[in-house]
Amino acid sequence: MNMETEIKQIIADSLKVPREVITDELCIGDIPQWDSLGHMTLMTALAKHFGITFQREEMTDLEDVSDIVALVTEKSSQ
């Protein structure tokens, strides 16, 4: 499983939605499960899984799944 696929699966699991729902263009608020609490839940899951930390500004600047994939990929390579 490549990193992008792994990230999307973690997002799906955190939001409790089928993996097929998670597309690059899916934005915060597009589905009921992805509210502010859902966002914090998935960011915590990603941080734990990849052993990374996020700054508050980084988390609030994220708009869609592609932003999350890019940020997690960048932080994982540091």
**Contact (CB, 8 A) for 30 and 65:** no
25-58 pLDDT per residue, tens: 999 999 999 999 999 999 999 999 999 999 999 9
Domains with residue ranges and CATH for the chain? 3-76 (1.10.1200.10)
Q: Cα 21 from chain centroid?
A: 13
Place of tokens 């792994």: 6
pTM: 0.94
Is-contact 66 49, C-beta < 8 A? no
How much is the pLDDT for 2? 95
